[in-house]
Chain A
Amino acid sequence: MLKIYFGDMQGAIYNTAVYFKNDYEDEWIVDPFVVEMIKDVDSSDVMYSGVIDSPVLGKIPPVKLSGGVKTLILVKFEPDVVFNASTCGDNCAKWLLKIAESEDRTVNLRHLMDFGDGEFDIEVLNTGTIVHNMKELVETAVSFV
């Protein structure tokens, strides 16, 4: 399940881009799940572990991926670290839910990310409440951001 701590969180990694630059591993980039994620969010194709084909920027290294995708990759492969997921746009929300489908993940949010009109299970760690839609999430989390 996706667990979210809203607001300031001690120990959460705020600048995920710098963390990614110094931490990512080549095999993460060619993982089929990540390839799909990069295609969806960045509209880019992974060619090799070190080369991504962006329709706008041309051939780019992984550090030039969007801030949102870099954070998603970290959330997937660094389960013991909590990252600032406010570096992700709303177009990353469904991927956060997918990453946390099979195993728990905790992220820190400093804004109310829009998880869409569907149903979901997210634990708001500030209150211990499990919310199932945006109405419940907004009403539970609004006082923490």
Chain B
Amino acid sequence: MKGIHHVVIQNKRMHYEFDLRRNITILKGDSATGKTTLVEMIQEYMDQGQESMVSIQSDKRCGVISGNTWKGQLSEFSDSLIFIDEGNNFVRTDEFARAIQDTDNYYVIVSREGLPNLPYSVDEIYGIHKSGKYGSLKKCYQEFYHIYGEDNTSIIKPSKVITEDSNSGYQFFEAVCRDNDVDCISAGGKSNVATKIAEIVGDNEIIIVADGAAFGSEMDKVSKLIKIKQNVHIYLPESFEWILLASGVVKDSEIVKILIEPSEFIDSQKFVSWERFFTYLLVEKTKDTYLKYNKSTLNKAYLQGQVRKEILDFMKNIEF
């Protein structure tokens, strides 16, 4: 499935209206904001149709899966918006993560706990904002040029950079840091980032660079850590490949068009998260050029002259 899907679900007492932009959306937040009521209304519409007195306006079918028979229920859906309430512990399993990779549905999952098996974006974690009978989705994490933190509007001059990545992304930042006498280490994966932040001592400015497109599961704990360690900032572009694409070093009008509204171009069945799509796009657009991209080993052309300058200039608010 591609695209942004607008959904209106209502009955006499409740009215929810929101857009779904990616294959996985997480709902969390305070109790009594109407998360379970939303899922129950969809279930009632599924069971009883219009006689439920629930009305759903959406260009895609909406459904609910729950309990131990989730696999059978999931097999009945395609090209649908599927909602899963909290209390369904199958969402934490490898089996569920594998199963949804083969589907063309979008999923809305109610969960406060991080789900590391699922590659969801920090931008698609919402709470329900309630105003009387009206419920809409409000982003849980606010950013400024993709920088998250207590003070994310000042220029950051890091004395140390920690990258989630250990491939090309790390190699780029390591080279830039080396030239500027700044430490750079790799956390060796998203699940190690929180531990690396917890180990930080001192007041030097530190920036963590991770792939926002798949960092959702870590965001609750990381955001709480950076609240108590105010010298730590987190930079969450969609991915390193997205930085390269968005910086303009690869001149291509289609890239510009895609980056304006990626939802319209990224097929969730082919790309379980946007980071994978941006890697694919960068590889495709640079093959047979001097910027030929390889994820495991950084092409040195990205570290040279004007190309390097354009990439660094794109990372606004970070100064090496």
Interface residues of A (CB under 8 A from B): 14-18, 41-43, 56-58, 66-69, 86-92, 110-112, 114, 134-135, 138-139, 142-143, 145
- With known contacts A66-B36, A135-B228, A142-B198, A41–B31 Cβ distance under 8 A: yes
B31 close to A92 (CB less than 8 A): yes
* Shortest Cβ gap from A47 to chain B (Å): 17
Chain B residues numbered 14-57 whose CB sits less than 8 Å from any CB in chain A: 14, 28-37
B198 close to A89 (CB less than 8 A): no
Interchain Cβ contacts under 8 Å between A and B, 24 examples: A15-B89, A16-B87, A17-B36, A42-B32, A43-B32, A56-B14, A56-B130, A57-B13, A57-B37, A66-B31, A67-B35, A69-B32, A87-B86, A87-B112, A89-B29, A89-B31, A89-B33, A91-B30, A111-B114, A112-B221, A135-B228, A138-B221, A142-B195, A142-B198
Interface-centre pick from B28, B29, B32 (highest chain A CB count, 10 A): B32
A14 close to B89 (CB less than 8 A): yes
Q: Size range of the interface on B?
A: 20 to 34
A138 close to B224 (CB less than 8 A): yes
Partner of B194, one of A41, A134, A143: A143
Partner of B228, one of A41, A87, A138: A138
- With known contacts A15-B89, A17-B36, A89-B33, A145–B228 Cβ distance under 8 A: no
Q: What chain B residues lie within 8 Å of A91 (beta carbons)?
A: 30-32
B88 within 8 A of A: yes
Partner of A18, one of B34, B87, B133, B225: B87
Partner of B13, one of A56, A90, A112, A143: A56
B87 close to A67 (CB less than 8 A): yes
* Shortest Cβ gap from A83 to chain B (Å): 11
Q: Cα distance A41–B88 when bound, in Å?
A: 23
Q: Cα distance A87–B198 when bound, in Å?
A: 26
Q: Cα distance A28–B133 when bound, in Å?
A: 28
Q: Number of residue pairs across A and B with beta carbons under 8 Å?
A: 91
Q: What chain A residues lie within 8 Å of B194 (beta carbons)?
A: 142-143
In the complex, the chain A residue whose C-beta lies closest to that of B37 is A57
B202 within 8 A of A: no
- With known contacts A139-B228, A142-B225, A68–B113 Cβ distance under 8 A: no
Q: Cα distance A56–B37 when bound, in Å?
A: 11
Partner of B88, one of A15, A86, A110: A15
B305 within 8 A of A: no
- With known contacts A67-B31, A142-B225, A111–B36 Cβ distance under 8 A: no
* Shortest Cβ gap from B177 to chain A (Å): 26
Q: What chain A residues lie within 8 Å of B224 (beta carbons)?
A: 112, 114, 134, 138, 142
- With known contacts A69-B31, A91-B30, A134-B228, A112–B220 Cβ distance under 8 A: yes
A66 close to B198 (CB less than 8 A): no
* Shortest Cβ gap from A86 to chain B (Å): 5
Q: Cα distance A66–B228 when bound, in Å?
A: 30
Q: What chain B residues lie within 8 Å of A114 (beta carbons)?
A: 224
